């Protein structure tokens, strides 16, 4: 029996993200929020392991109250329990402060529902893109750390050892280590399932567990929110838009249009750049 915790984050849909040209900041108004898709692959693998070895899957998220929607989606996919850690005191957290709060949350999850064997995070989030939170949690909880996992080969419950494949720049590394462990998931790890009808009905009625700063009596307030975030963005900018001149070649005769196209090419700097011969 395994207790698996999956850390998820609600992020702006990257396909809809726009940049304010004056402030160089994200325009979040009107941008739909989704579950970070790397986190969904972590959840999928947790569900697969639960089906194979038994146990429970608990999903945790640090974010504003609307992040309940992300947790309900995880419940619809099959998670057993979901916890939303939300408080104004957590606002403005960078990766250091976020990893601290999530580590404290996982400790509380273990006290509430039993010892945690595996923690999954995505390899990175779509909005931050740093890949630092997962390793930060592992360091704070003193967990074995397996990053960029693309395959879980199996778990030996008797010896409490897990074998995985890690995707590296120059190949695949096969690693075996002991539980408890934290893994960061790649999209190659699996294919995320669709929610079942019973899962969607359960999610519609489900109320996530809500924890605020008041639920963490030993929380160090100097390590959360803006106070606990040493990261400073000194400057940000958007690449200048490139203008491209377009010439439409009209006509119905394909040969005539092709000849006109070649003529246009010879009027550019391409012949000189690529060493083409003289025009016939």
Given this model, what pLDDT does residue 55 score?
96
- Residue located via tokens 């994200």: 26
- What are residue 183's DSSP bridge partners? 120, 146
- Specify the pLDDT at position 20: 67
Query: How far apart are the C-alpha atoms of 235 and 131, rounded to whole Å?
Result: 21
Position 21 scores a pLDDT of 66
pLDDT at 14: 67
What pLDDT, on the 0 to 100 scale, is given for residue 216?
Answer: 95
What is d(CA 56, CA 243) in angstroms, rounded to the nearest whole number?
54
Q: What is the pLDDT of residue 57?
A: 97
Query: What's the CA dihedral at 68, 93, 213, 106 to 10 degrees?
Result: 70
Note the pLDDT of residue 16.
Answer: 67
Per-residue pLDDT, 274:
77
The whole-number pLDDT of residue 46 equals 97
DSSP bridge partners of 18: 27
The CATH architecture annotation of domain 2-223 reads 3-Layer(aba) Sandwich (3.40)
Cα(71)–Cα(66) distance, integer angstroms: 10
Confidence (pLDDT) at 238: 67
Task: Determine the length of the chain.
Answer: 280
Residue 24, pLDDT score = 59
CATH 3.40.50.620: which residues of the chain? 2-223
- Name residues of the chain where pLDDT drops below 50: 280
The pLDDT value recorded for residue 141 is: 96
Quote the pLDDT of residue 194: 94
> How buried is residue 186: exposed, middle or buried, by Cβ count under 10 Å (0-12/13-18/19+)?
buried
């Amino acid at each position: 029996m395994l207790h698996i915790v999956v850390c998820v984050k609600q992020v702006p849909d990257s396909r809809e993200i726009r940049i304010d040209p004056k402030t160089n900041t994200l325009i979040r108004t009107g941008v739909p929020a989704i579950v970070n898709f790397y986190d969904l692959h972590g959840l999928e693998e947790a569900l697969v392991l639960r089906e194979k070895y038994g146990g429970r899957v608990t999903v945790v998220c640090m974010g504003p109250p609307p992040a309940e929607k992300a947790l309900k989606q995880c419940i619809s996919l099959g998670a057993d329990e979901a916890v939303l850690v939300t408080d104004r005191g957590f606002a403005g957290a960078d990766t250091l402060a976020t990893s601290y709060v999530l580590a404290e949350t996982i400790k509380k999850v273990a006290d509430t529902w039993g010892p945690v064997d595996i923690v999954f995070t995505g390899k990175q989030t779509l909005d931050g893109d740093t890949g630092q939170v997962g390793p930060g949690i592992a360091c704070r909880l003193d967990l074995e750390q397996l990053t960029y996992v693309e395959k879980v080969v199996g778990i030996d419950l008797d010896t409490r050892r897990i074998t995985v494949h890690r995707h590296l720049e120059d190949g695949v590394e096969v690693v075996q280590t002991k539980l408890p462990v934290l893994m960061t998931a790649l999209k190659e790890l699996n294919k995320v399932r669709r929610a079942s009808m019973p899962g969607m009905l359960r999610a519609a009625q489900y109320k996530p567990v809500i924890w605020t700063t008041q639920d963490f009596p030993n929380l160090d307030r100097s390590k959360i929110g803006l106070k606990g975030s040493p990261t400073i963005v000194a400057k940000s900018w958007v690449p200048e838009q490139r203008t491209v001149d377009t010439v439409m070649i009209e006509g119905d005769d394909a040969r005539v249009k092709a000849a006109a196209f070649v003529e246009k090419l010879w009027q550019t700097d391409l012949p000189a750049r690529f060493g083409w011969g003289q025009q016939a």
